[in-house]
Amino acid sequence: MFTHMSASYIATVAIAITAPVLTSAQSAPAPLAVTSPSLVAGQPVPRQHTADGENISPAIQWTGAPATTRSFALVCDDPDVPIPGGFVHWVVYNIPGTVTGLPENLPIDPAAPMPAAIAGTMQGLSGFKRPIYRGPAPPPGKPHHYHFTVYALDVAGLAPALTRAQLVEAMQGHIVAQGELVALYERKPPAK
């Protein structure tokens, strides 16, 4: 009985952390199409975007944002990690509402400027408690799913150094469109 209640509680917490709640006055967000020149939905994350490779952030693109979009946010997480809400690999927000994507290899140094086309963009705190992209590095044994979720928002200028939970809270009532790309990554167990 206790185990069942614990699993139920964990599922409830995970939903609360990752899924913004709509008020009765809001409609469901419009769909965004999310793509990448290097990531393919349902396929392995290329090694250069993982902790086993160069650990550089992938380029992410989107289409279908409503005219009311003032900024975008992106969260990459791994819900297969057995902790409430999964593990957060990347938080990016205050992306200008006029752009249609992020370039590959965003700066890993928090003091380094963003590329001019996305000036003002901020990286929030990942599960590593640093404002950087950190690619997949699951334990060996089974593939993990990496969700790159893009949100179109009707607000801009969110505070610096937000965690995913703080970003989700700040986005409440402001998501006008949303979409995701899900890729996989698996580390094989060592050969015996």
What is the per-residue pLDDT across 125-135, written as a single tens digit (0 to 9) for each? 999 999 999 99
Q: What is the pLDDT of residue 37?
A: 98
Confidence label for 27 from pLDDT (cuts 50, 70 and 90): confident
- DSSP assignment of 53-104 equals TT-PPPPEEEE---TT--EEEEEEEETTSSSTT-EEEEEEEEEETT--EE-S
Q: What is the pLDDT of residue 8?
A: 33
Confidence label for 147 from pLDDT (cuts 50, 70 and 90): very high
Segment 96-146, tens digit of pLDDT: 999 999 999 999 887 899 999 999 999 999 999 999 999 999 999 899 999
Span 5-19, mean pLDDT? 35
Task: Supply the mean pLDDT for the chain.
Answer: 88
Percent of the chain scored above 90 by pLDDT?
80
**Domains of the chain by range and CATH?**
2-185 (3.90.280.10)
35 CB-near residues (< 8 Å, 6+ apart): 60, 61, 62, 63, 181
Q: Which residue has the higher pLDDT, 86 or 26?
A: 86
Q: Residue 154: what residue type?
A: D
Q: Which residue has the higher pLDDT, 8 or 126?
A: 126
User: Which of 125, 152, 146 shows the shortest CA–CA distance to 67?
Assistant: 152
Segment 36-45, tens digit of pLDDT: 999 999 999 9
Cα 100 to its chain centre, rounded Å, is 16
User: CA distances (Å), 61 to each of 112, 150, 173, in order?
Assistant: 22, 9, 24
- Residue 88: pLDDT over 90: yes
Q: Residue 95: what residue type?
A: I
Contact 136, 89 (CB under 8 A): yes
- Residue 18: pLDDT over 90: no
Pairwise CA distance, residues 38 & 179, whole Å: 17
Structure tokens at 153: 């928002």
Pairwise CA distance, residues 121 & 55, whole Å: 20
Pairwise CA distance, residues 61 & 59, whole Å: 7
